[in-house]
Amino acid sequence: DNNPFSNLEKASVAQESRIFNATPIQPRKCCFVLSKILYIIYQGDVFSTKEATSAFFAMTRLFQHKDSSMRKLVYLTIKELAPMAEDVIIVTSSLTKDMTGKEDSYRASAIRALCRITDATMIQAIERYLKQSIVDRNPAVASAALVSSVHLLQQKATFDVVKRWSNEVQEAIQNKNIMVQYHALGLLYKLKEKDRLAVSKLVQTLMRGSVRSSYATCLLIRFVKKCMEDDTDPSAR
């Protein structure tokens, strides 16, 4: 069998992750090992805390290299390994640097990876950057920040902080990009869904024609239906 991913063993792949510590950094070999780690995880297998933490720490060194393919795989691997590893906060500064840098190809992926490891102790430190990203001119960056905010909103530890970003989300709804407007509407609804009056006002405002995205229009139709159901259901009042 010529498939390099067949019969992979976690222990051997964990050992292979030592290549991340090699000097100089070897992007091609590192990409291969990162792909193996992701393959094992996507097959439903789980690394031990020790294995995941060891690979995670070694992987942080790869931020020193500019290879874009390797960097994108690093972002993906951070997202997948984070729940299994300890002390994942170690990559915060590297991800924040990429998120606020000038390299657009890195910024969106860095936001997604950073929000995956963010908890109550970290959210305050990156709040300003995330709010700026929501209204960023680059659609990929704005969408990444909006979707990541939806995930953060689902965590009790970060819920209250995300609720403060409604002004930025309102601004993002005016974005001409169809996906940004769609993601912004989804997040804004999540921010207001406990307040029936606020949802009703949101729907009425957007029905006047400010929605250009067909995806956002479909979402708006769902919200209209929900408002109508609430109006006819006494238990929802």
> Cα torsion for 22, 25, 27, 32, to the nearest 10°?
10
For residue 183, tell me if it sits in a domain.
Answer: no
For the chain, give the mean pLDDT.
90
Higher pLDDT, 234 or 9: 9
Residue 236, pLDDT > 60, answer no
On whether residue 36 sits in a domain, the answer given is yes
pLDDT confidence of residue 234: 58
120-162: pLDDT as tens digits? 888 988 999 999 999 999 999 999 999 999 999 998 889 999 9
39 domain residue, yes or no: yes
Q: Is residue 28 part of a domain?
A: yes
Residue 104 placed within a domain: no
Q: Which amino acid is at 168?
A: E
Q: What is the reported pLDDT for 5?
A: 80
Whether residue 237 has pLDDT greater than 90: no
* Closest-CA residue to 141 (of 104, 113, 98, 181): 104
79 located within any domain: yes
Please tell me what DSSP assigns to residue 90: G
- State residue 235's pLDDT score: 60
For 167, counting Cβ atoms within 10 Å of its Cβ (0-12 exposed, 13-18 middle, 19+ buried), the class is exposed
- 175 within domain boundaries: no
Q: Per the structure, how many domains does the chain have? A: 1
Q: Give the pLDDT confidence score for residue 203 in this predicted structure.
A: 87
**Residue 127 belongs to a domain:** no
Residue 55's domain spans which residues?
1-86
Digit-coded pLDDT (tens) for 41-89: 999 999 999 999 999 999 999 999 999 999 999 999 999 999 999 988 8
Give the predicted TM-score (pTM) of the model: 0.87
